[in-house]
Amino acid sequence: MSKVVRYTTFARHVSEANMAKIRHVKFSLKDAEAVAQTLVWKFAFKRVKSNVLKSGNIVFVLEEGHSNSARDVSLVVDDIEGVVDRVRKAGGSSLIQDVKDVGDGVLTAVVRPPCVGDVVHTLIQNADVDEEKDESALTADIDHITYVCEAGDSAAILAWYERCFGMRRFRINGADALDDDGFVIGDDVGMRLKAAEWVSEWLCDEIGVCGGFKLVLAEPLAGDAGAKSHVRRFLRDHGGPGLQHIGLTCGALGVCETVRRLVNRGAEFRTPPPTYYQLPKKALEIEAVIEDVAEFKALGLLLDLEADDEDAETRALIQVFTKCLFPDDGDTFFLEVLERRGARGFGAGNITALAQSIQLFLRHEVDNVDR
């Protein structure tokens, strides 16, 4: 068997007292109003201010700039002095702005994680957070953010978050091991490499950390597959590491109805090859969990089930990815819409299923040509 993907486990906060929660994400945009209109009309966000958009508890702040990029993941923290002290001790150029009082007892600071380009965290303490539920919102919360970094840099990033925010890796379920090298997809590597343009929408080397906010780190694979992967394309089109996508949980309607309504509003999503739904194991999983299988397929949704030797209950993640929100910039930032039914992971099983479906799709193509 040839190892083609290393997909490691994730992390959690070891101290709930130091929990950090995402307050908003700030974007620098060439045309902030155009992006605002896309989010309002296609993704059902509401304007709070001219440049502040909200859906459920998701808040995006849009500012004019010279490039299109998510630049600031603002975090609400309970002990800003403690976080900044740990950042200062971590050394380097991580501390951008020391703690300051901006009025009414609200404290802020700005820190930069290593190896993720110009992404920063504005830390906020003692600020009011509006968590009033909006039952009409199609998307409700930020589930996770995903950085793309250069090959080999994820360890340094993970170490920084561990040291500064007290985060730790953990096992997704009982089948995982913390020292596991990752998934082995199979020995049909030649077929996989030929299918690189299909695979590149999904295949990457990911490490995740989670706490009050969840973080996934995506590295390009080595060799030819890495050269054509979507993470390599992001590094090329974005001009280096950065924030690649944000995972949004669906609202009260559930993921199928949410995505259907978003599609009707004009939102565009990436779809897997049709053979994804023909894989025997995947077909059985979908039929066991999904009520309307036909609509599930029509919407291009993906399903990942998590096994746990300690828990017989089925845990499922249903997810779908939008097309790039900045199409003029190549393959850069996009959104993910998802629903967790007890699942804690990020769809690792779909990497294997998608690769298998691509191989099956190409075999069918070859058979049709031969006839």
Which domains does the chain show, CATH number per domain?
14-125 (3.10.180.10), 137-370 (3.10.180.10)
The helix or strand, by DSSP H or E, that contains position 364, with its residue range, turns out to be helix 348-370
Question: Is residue 226 classed as helix, strand or coil in its secondary structure?
Answer: helix
CB contact set of 172 (below 8 Å; sequence gap of 6+): 9, 10, 306, 344, 345, 348
In this prediction, residue 228 carries a pLDDT of 60
Q: Which of 261, 248, 270, 267 is nearest to 336 (CA)?
A: 248
Q: Write out the two tokens for 222.
A: 């080595």
Tens-digit pLDDT profile for residues 37-47: 999 999 999 99
Q: Which of 119, 336, 144, 145 is nearest to 241 (CA)?
A: 119
What strands lie across the sheet with 58-64, from one edge to the other? Answer: 46-49, 52-55, 58-64, 21-29, 69-76, 121-125, 107-111, 95-101
Q: Are 251 and 137 in contact (CB under 8 A)?
A: yes
Q: How far apart are the first and last CA of the chain?
A: 31
In this prediction, residue 102 carries a pLDDT of 94
C-alpha pair distances (Å), 227 with each of 71, 153, 204, 233: 25, 17, 11, 8
d(CA 210, CA 167): 7
In this prediction, residue 84 carries a pLDDT of 95
Q: Are 320 and 269 in contact (CB under 8 A)?
A: yes
Q: Are 156 and 79 in contact (CB under 8 A)?
A: no
d(CA 154, CA 29): 27
State the sign of the Cα–Cα–Cα–Cα dihedral 42, 257, 57, 351. negative
In this prediction, residue 359 carries a pLDDT of 58
In this prediction, residue 227 carries a pLDDT of 62
Residue linked to tokens 């990436």: 270
d(CA 240, CA 259): 31
What residues of the chain score a pLDDT lower than 50? 1-17, 171-203, 211
In this prediction, residue 9 carries a pLDDT of 35
In this prediction, residue 339 carries a pLDDT of 94
